[in-house]
Structure 1
Amino acid sequence: MNQCKRILIVDDDPNIREALKAYLEFEGYEVRVAGNGKEALALLQINDKPCLILLDLMMPVMSGWEFAKIVEKDAMMGQIPIVICSAFVDKAEDIKARGHLSKPLDMEELMGLANECCPAK
């Protein structure tokens, strides 16, 4: 079975990106970060695909909504589970997401979703 342990964090707040990255790396995940949807799409084109995308909605350049629409239409990227991590989760009903986490994030809930999407075995 695939043992993917890669997570992509897409959030325009550098403090949130770095805190989540440090926490998830401590938990054994390989983490990539992007400051907006455009950066995230570029990473998805050049790197190994993650097992999970943690997606903020309100970002400059390319919002989470715009990013999700592009990803959902792509045959390969559309298979990657997305978890919305935003203060505006109630506005994400049009995104096919595996889960929704309100900011500030509940780390126990986050780890549950990460373990579900990126099983160790």
Structure 2
Amino acid sequence: MDSKNKILIIDDDERNIFALSAMLRSKSFQCIARSDAREALALLQSNEPIDAILIDMMMPDMDGYEAIPLIKALENRQKVPIYAVTAQAMKGDREKCLLAGADDYIPKPINIDRLLELLQKI
């Protein structure tokens, strides 16, 4: 794994962005963040290289359930893995995230080993 792996973090909570970015950078990932799904979509429409996306499913304005299909519809992003990150860990929540188009699901609090296992596949 080299530092070329760039992760886009989409989360409306700056504390989550800070903690996740710090952890990922310590593991040699590059991170960029957007606190709003619409801002993230604007970025994703550009040619900015992104190797994986971590998206909070519960955000105001546009949540992950609405944003993921829009991201997957972008021609230049169809192969970028999207990992749903959510505090909702009830039965059926994983399936809802996958039905929305997420490639996998990571409940909060985030299991760092599980996240790194997913990101090693990119």
Quick check: TM above 0.5? Answer: yes
> How far off its partner does 1:98 sit?
2.0
Task: Specify the code of the residue in structure 1 equivalent to 2:10.
Answer: V
Following the alignment from structure 2 to structure 1, what is the Cα–Cα distance between the partners of residues 88 and 75? 27
Task: Specify the code of the residue in structure 1 equivalent to 2:116.
Answer: M
> How far off its partner does 1:108 sit?
0.5
Residues 64-115 of structure 1 deviation map (CA, whole Å, 9 limit, x = unaligned): 1111111122221122100111022603242222211100000000111111
**Alignment correspondent of 1:54:** 54
**Alignment correspondent of 1:75:** 75
**Alignment correspondent of 1:45:** 45
Between 1 and 2, higher relative CO (CA 8 Å, sep ≥ 6) is seen in 1
Runs of 4 or more consecutive aligned structure 1 residues displaced over 6 Å after TM superposition: none
Task: Specify the code of the residue in structure 2 equivalent to 1:40.
Answer: A
| Pairing of 1:16-35 with structure 2 (within 5 A) | 16-35=16-35
Unaligned runs of 5+ in 2: none
Unaligned runs of 5+ in 1: none
Change (3 A) 1:74 1:47: closer
CA RMSD across the alignment: 1.6
Normalised by the size of structure 1, how large is the TM-score? 0.86
| Among 96, 103, 107, the residue aligned to 2:101 | 96
Query: Number of paired residues?
Result: 115
